[in-house]
Amino acid sequence: MPIVRDKKIEVLFSEEVIAKRITELAEEVALSELRNILVISVLKGSFVFAADLIRAFHRAGLAPEVEFISISSYGAGTEAGEIRLLRDIDSDVKGRDIVLIDDILESGNTMKYTRELMLSRGANRVAVITLLDKSVRRKADIEADFIGFECPDQFVVGYGMDVGHAFRELPFVGVVTGSVE
Ligand code: IMP
Ligand code: MG
């Protein structure tokens, strides 16, 4: 079991397993009806996934444009999840096919807000791609169009995802199971 920052981490999805799935996801997107894609990476958690995914898009014959948006959700796990737009994209989305990239779809509040924002600005289509789907936690009426893996109902870290700003650098997705004695 890897030990990082004096914590034991149980690996849920290894680097190799993630890489293989990302290649498959890119091929699924290439076969979809989406054209002339603008991807929007939802910061911060999705930046590692987005970086690998857009290169897999290239290998699958796609040539996406890339944008970043920063959204915060307060009390996402509670009834009253308040969503705030912290940093907007620069591009005009009117008539565009958008692919929103997120690390985890949990309550769905963040993705529902972002999807509706892009549709209200005149996007043609808005697809959602998430590395992990914690579907048992869903509250909002939204599902991802492309899913890497179903995620167990545990707090995961690594591959861009953090707990208290730590562990984003891990090349795999795992769960902190305890401290080294
Ligand atoms: P929601 O779908 O609006 O509830 O927001 C999900 C967001 O919360 C994700 O994009 C992550 O940034 C964060 N999140 C949810 N579950 C986890 C987890 O297990 N580890 C790290 N971040 C998480
Ligand atoms: Mg996120």
CATH of the domain at 145: 3.40.50.2020
Alpha carbon distance 70, 86 (integer Å): 5
59 lies in some domain? yes
Alpha carbon distance 101, 5 (integer Å): 28
Give, in degrees to the nearest 5, the angle at Cα 72 between 71 and 76.
125
169 lies in some domain? no
pTM here is: 0.94
26 lies in some domain? yes
Does the Cβ of 130 fall within 6 Å of ligand 1? Answer: no
Q: Answer yes or no: is pLDDT of 172 > 80.
A: yes
Which atom of ligand 1 is the closest one to the Cα of 110? Answer: 3
96 lies in some domain? yes
- In the reported structure, the alpha carbon of residue 106 is separated from the centroid of ligand 2 by a whole-number distance in angstroms of 9
Mean pLDDT, residues 103-108 taken together: 95
Give, in degrees to the nearest 5, the angle at Cα 53 between 91 and 60.
100
pLDDT score, position 66: 98
Atom 10 of ligand 1, residue of closest alpha carbon: 104
Beta carbons of 77 and 107 less than 8 angstroms apart? yes
Per-residue confidence band for 4, with pLDDT thresholds at 50, 70 and 90: confident
**What's the structural domain count of the chain?**
1
Smallest Cα–Cα separation from 101: which of 32, 43, 173?
A: 43
Amino acid at site 40: I
Roughly how many angstroms between the first and final C-alpha of the chain, as a whole number? 14
Atom 23 of ligand 1, residue of closest alpha carbon: 104
Please state which of the ranges 46-50, 74-78, 110-114 shows the lowest mean pLDDT: 74-78
Does the Cβ of 41 fall within 6 Å of ligand 1? Answer: no
18: Cβ contacts below 8 Å, ≥ 6 apart: 52, 131, 148, 159, 172, 173
Amino acid at site 168: R
Does the Cβ of 114 fall within 6 Å of ligand 1? Answer: no
Does the Cβ of 176 fall within 6 Å of ligand 1? Answer: no
5 lies in some domain? no
Smallest Cα–Cα separation from 42: which of 161, 166, 154?
A: 161
Which atom of ligand 1 is the closest one to the Cα of 109? Answer: 3
Q: What is the pLDDT of residues 32-75, one digit of tens each?
A: 999 999 999 999 999 999 999 999 999 999 999 999 999 987 65
Residue 124, domain extent = 16-72+80-151
Which atom of ligand 1 is the closest one to the Cα of 106? Answer: 2
Beta carbons of 61 and 27 less than 8 angstroms apart? no
Share of the chain above pLDDT 70, in %: 96
Per-residue confidence band for 78, with pLDDT thresholds at 50, 70 and 90: very low
| Alpha helix ranges (H) inside the chain | 15-31, 47-59, 109-120
36 lies in some domain? yes
pLDDT score, position 77: 46
Per-residue confidence band for 156, with pLDDT thresholds at 50, 70 and 90: very high
Ion ligand 2 residue ranges (Cβ < 5 Å): 45, 103
Which atom of ligand 1 is the closest one to the Cα of 112? Answer: 3
pLDDT score, position 81: 66
Average pLDDT, the chain: 94
161 lies in some domain? no
